[in-house]
Amino acid sequence: MKKHLVAPSVLAADFTRLAAEIDMVNQSEADWFHLDVMDGRFVPNITFGMFIIEAIAKMAQKPLDVHLMIVEPEKYIEPIRNAGAHVITVHLEACPHLHRTIQQIKETGALAGVALNPHTPVQLLEDVIEDIDLVCLMSVNPGFGGQKFIYQTLPKIRKLHQMIAAANAKTLIEIDGGVGLQNAETLLQAGADVLVAGSSVFGAKEPLTTISALKAFNAVFV
Ligand code: DX5
Ligand code: ZN
């Protein structure tokens, strides 16, 4: 059985002790670091860019999964890759030429991801699904950590899972926003492959134990 991945979202880390937080993830059972880049235009918040990604890349011993919540992401794909990204995810809503942008990501050697806002139907990806390494389903409105999981995401996971299977593709389904111990198993059973977890990991009393618990769930496909 395929084992899912866990990607702690560094947005929820304590940036006054970032090195220790990165080290915690390095020592943990987590698979990737999830890094949220926000521009104050696509989303109503600003986080960090290449400079911080590069600093994190120097310490991180696991792949960097970079989620671009920015307009015109095509302008930053090469710099983000050069900063150390292994997975680069752009928003469908920010890409009028999505096919071209996906190819641009792949040409850098990174894995190509496409993120969908909660209101965006998964069917819009039908004609590019075979070209995408990962689909990030936003289960909160992007922009902030610590929000409540939107339950309408569940049927989207199931639909996307079917679409990927029908295309015989290997695309991973990533769920981002409001993910924690309370819903991880349900998400995996619906077909999730990657669980992004911010506040549920970094806000936990024992982040290492929480990561292990998120990894320990099993998906029993029906
Ligand atoms: C939201 C970001 C998420 C966020 C998740 O816009 O894309 O990655 O950090 O945070 P939690 O897990 O706290 O909802
Ligand atoms: Zn994210």
Mean pLDDT, residues 39-63 taken together:
98
Nearest Cα to Cα of residue 148 among 137, 138, 159, 140: 140
Task: Give pLDDT tens digits for 73-84.
Answer: 999 999 999 999
Q: 193 an active-site residue?
A: no
% pLDDT > 90, the chain: 97
The CA distance from 155 to 133, in Å, is 21
The pLDDT value given to residue 196? 99
Report CA torsion sign: 26, 27, 31, 36.
negative
Tokens of 188: 């995996």
Task: Give pLDDT tens digits for 113-162.
Answer: 999 999 999 999 999 999 999 999 999 999 999 999 999 999 999 999 99
What pTM, to 2 d.p., does this model score?
Answer: 0.98
> So where are the chain's domains?
5-216
- Say how many Å lie between the CA of residue 1 and the centre of ligand 2: 26
Q: Is 128 exposed, middle or buried (0-12, 13-18, 19+ CB in 10 A)?
A: middle
Shortest-distance ligand to the CA of residue 11: 1
Report CA torsion sign: 210, 188, 138, 170.
positive
The pLDDT value given to residue 198? 98
Nearest Cα to Cα of residue 172 among 32, 20, 11, 18: 32
Atom of ligand 1 nearest to the CA of 149: 14
The CA distance from 91 to 98, in Å, is 9
List the CATH code of the domain at 5-216: 3.20.20.70
> 3-class SS at 14?
coil
DSSP 171: P
- Distance spanning both ends of the chain, measured CA to CA: 13
DSSP 126: T
Atom of ligand 1 nearest to the CA of 177: 14
Task: Give pLDDT tens digits for 84-122.
Answer: 999 999 999 999 999 999 999 999 999 999 999 999 999
